[in-house]
Amino acid sequence: MQKELLDRFLSSFNLDRKLIKYDIEACIAWITTLFENKIIDKKQSSRLIKVLKNLKKQKDLKNIQAEDVHYAVEKKLERVLKKDKYLAGVIRTARSRNDLVVSDERMYIKDEINQIIVLLKNLISSIVEVAQKNLDVPMVGYTHLQPAQPVLFSHYILSFAWWFVRDIERFKDCYKRVDVSTLGAAAFAGSSFEVNRQKVAEKLGFLKVSENSVDSVSDRDYIIEFISCCAIVMIHLSRIAEELIIWCTPNFGYISLPKKLTSGSSIMPQKQNPDYLELIRGKTAKVISDLIGILVVMKALPLTYNRDMQEDKVYLFSSVETIKDCLRVMRVIFENLMVNAQRLKEDIQKHDFIFATEVANFLVEEMKYPFKLAHKKTQLLIDYCVKTNKKLKQLGLKDYKKIVSREFTIEMFEKLNRKFNNSYSNYKTFGGSSLPQVKRQIKNIKKLIV
């Protein structure tokens, strides 16, 4: 009973069996190099490699109970090589689980980064597709969740795509620091066997070899950095989820979700709740907690290896699983959401104070007012609208003459009205909300995700 408890407590095999593929690759590269460097003989290396090559999958270790994946592989070797039981122990030469676990994890993270980048690119392209289908649909843009300025819907949602473009860059940058082999650092001091660590690294596809054996086994900054990248993606996903949740309320009605992407209520028959989006928002907590978790594990830990570090896998695997699922689900959402262009346009008419900035800009251009004065005059127009229950666009020349200036002419008034109607092509600054700028962005984003 007590033994069972203690064994279970010590073991990470339930989690790190995920690393089997990498552990075996690392063992094969290690044994090959031991042979090349004349530390073991040909017969030993070929027998071990032959057995290892047959064990690629988790199910191969099904009946093995072990402290961790590294011991499980060793145990399996012992079982297969029954008659030559001690041969399995050769893989321990000049190596320790301390340097091995780090290399396994680094290989695993490299593969996961590549997969996550593909998922990010897929999501970006589904966002771009929605933008392309709704290129010139106008919408109310918000600050403080208050109607602010008119923008193009395509421009608004393309901002999401740029978040993910930067997330890809962050992962690529993180990859460079993960791409380092620690094999040969052994427990922490290196070893007296002359193993060519560079050759081991090359066999495993690592770009670099770690330069300090103490550092190699002591740090988990590559996991902290990787989970940080994941957490940033999740923050982005949670904000998009929140935005879409708001947009699909009947009060906004900017988008709607097909039935398969909502779920009903057990009591209110009319309900179609955006549960998938809410879960993406909720699951963000997991990855943020994973980041805090690994940071707390590492905080103030003495050098070199400590068993605390075994817990790193809890956070690493949880983040990977969560981020990949959330990216996949968000993609399905973008591929299926329906944009209600009519509703978006109606909302602009309802909130036509969003054109106030345009009026102020116009007063700067035409009346040559300093912007602060133009702002003040426009505010007076808005106050007047509120008092008289009018829309900005309903004001007549008379109102402008009375509130802004007697010098406000009929020509100016007509010009301003033309401007109102064209307001979406007015934001022509680089990166602004005009059609040519949206088209330019789409072209550039597409180049980044090929």
- 364: burial class by Cβ within 10 Å (0-12, 13-18, 19+)? middle
- Report the residue from 108, 305, 315, 353 that binds ligand ARG according to the rule CB under 6 A: 305
The reply to whether 307 sits near ligand ARG by the rule CB under 6 A is yes
Which lies closer to ligand ARG via its Cβ, residue 31 or residue 101? Answer: 101
Which lies closer to ligand ARG via its Cβ, residue 241 or residue 294? Answer: 294
Which window, 93-101, 227-235, 339-347, 420-428, contacts ligand ARG (CB under 6 A)? Answer: 93-101
The reply to whether 68 sits near ligand ARG by the rule CB under 6 A is yes
Say if CB 66 and CB 11 are below 8 A apart: yes
The reply to whether 310 sits near ligand ARG by the rule CB under 6 A is yes
Which lies closer to ligand ARG via its Cβ, residue 227 or residue 354? Answer: 227
Catalytic residue (one of 45, 46, 181, 265)? 265
Which amino acid is it at 370?
P
Which window, 95-103, 227-235, 287-295, 427-435, contacts ligand ARG (CB under 6 A)? Answer: 95-103
Ranges of beta strands (E only) in 233-359 are: 255-256, 338-339
The reply to whether 309 sits near ligand ARG by the rule CB under 6 A is yes
Q: From CA 277, how far away is CA 353, in angstroms rounded?
A: 31
* Least distance (Å) between residue 307 CB and ligand ARG: 6
Which lies closer to ligand ARG via its Cβ, residue 15 or residue 359? Answer: 15
Q: From CA 87, how far away is CA 327, in angstroms rounded?
A: 45
- Report the residue from 44, 98, 284, 434 that binds ligand ARG according to the rule CB under 6 A: 98
Identify the three-state secondary structure at position 450.
Answer: coil
3-class SS shares of the chain: helix, strand, coil, % to 5: 70, 5, 25
Angstrom CA distances, 404 to 362, 366, 418, 423, stand at 12, 12, 19, 21
Q: Is 434 a catalytic residue?
A: no
Which lies closer to ligand ARG via its Cβ, residue 180 or residue 327? Answer: 180
* Least distance (Å) between residue 79 CB and ligand ARG: 20
The reply to whether 368 sits near ligand ARG by the rule CB under 6 A is no
**From the CB of residue 89, how many other CB atoms can be counted at a distance below 10 Å?**
11
Based on C-alpha coordinates, what's the Rg of the chain? 31
Pull the structure tokens for residue 142.
């918000």
The reply to whether 12 sits near ligand ARG by the rule CB under 6 A is yes
Which amino acid is it at 44?
Q
Q: Is 144 a catalytic residue?
A: yes
* Least distance (Å) between residue 98 CB and ligand ARG: 5
DSSP 77-97: HHHHTGGGGGGGGGGGTT--H
Catalytic residue (one of 12, 126, 144, 256)? 144
- Report the residue from 76, 97, 203, 281 that binds ligand ARG according to the rule CB under 6 A: 97
The reply to whether 168 sits near ligand ARG by the rule CB under 6 A is no
For residue 152, the cross-strand partners are 138
| Catalytically annotated residues | 144, 265
